[in-house]
Copies of this chain bind each other. A is one copy, B any other.
Amino acid sequence: MALGTDYAQQDCTLARALEVVGERWSLLIVRDAFYGVRRFNDFLVHLDIPRAVLTARLAALTEAGVLRKEAYQQSPPRYDYVLTDAGLDLWPPLHALMRWGGRHASRGEPTRTFHHAACGSRLDMTGGCPACEVAQVAPADVEMRWVSDAGRPGRVDQVAAALATTSPLLRPVRGAAGADAFAGGDDPGNS
């Protein structure tokens, strides 16, 4: 087997996790789901991902119990893809990876930081709130702050995850449209 989910030799939980979310695009799909993206076409536009690959990934993530399909119309059958409890539990590794990327793999375009909605403190490396001494802030209590290009006050969004009924983050903010709406990330060098 050339690629994919075959980590059979790697008999450990990291390999098990990578079988589920280790493939190309999978974690980016999960990230978008945290930001409120729910529909096939919205994932398609934001990720600029081949349709066939998106179809396969959504099916695999649903099969693995990370996402679940919720019908929003009957004919033709159309589904929202929303995070399950297992999917919501992916927030700690996801946030940790984003922090690492911001610190060590950034190209110097800091545009987004995550904060505890209750107190406004920036989340630490592990997704906890240092001010409130909360070890793990739930995705629904996380606020995403956009750092404006020109130093003006940025936009603030809730990382609403499966709680959202719409996709507020789909609206482009600074860029033209589409994928630009998700541009940026944690500011590098600030830990």
Contact = CB atoms under 8 A, between A and B. Distances in A.
A112 B7 CA distance: 18
Interface in A13-54: 13-22, 24, 27-28, 31, 47-48
Given A183-B11, A185-B16, A126 B96 contact: yes
Contacts of A16: 101-102, 105-107, 185
A179 interface: yes
A154 interface: no
A73 interface: no
A142 interface: no
B135 A11 contact: no
Interface residues of A, number: 62
Interface stretch (A74-82, A87-95, A163-171): A87-95
Contact of A9 (B31, B133, B179, B188): B179
Name the residue among A86, A135, A180 with the largest chain B CB count within 10 angstroms.
Answer: A135
Given A93-B93, A125-B136, A128-B126, A12 B98 contact: yes
A19 B136 contact: no
Interface of A: 3, 7, 9-22, 24, 27-28, 31, 47-48, 64-66, 86, 89-90, 92-94, 96-107, 109, 112, 124-128, 130, 133, 135-136, 179-180, 182-186, 188
21 contacts: A3-B3, A10-B28, A11-B179, A11-B183, A12-B183, A12-B184, A13-B106, A14-B98, A15-B28, A16-B105, A17-B98, A17-B101, A17-B104, A18-B97, A21-B97, A65-B104, A93-B96, A124-B136, A125-B136, A126-B136, A128-B135
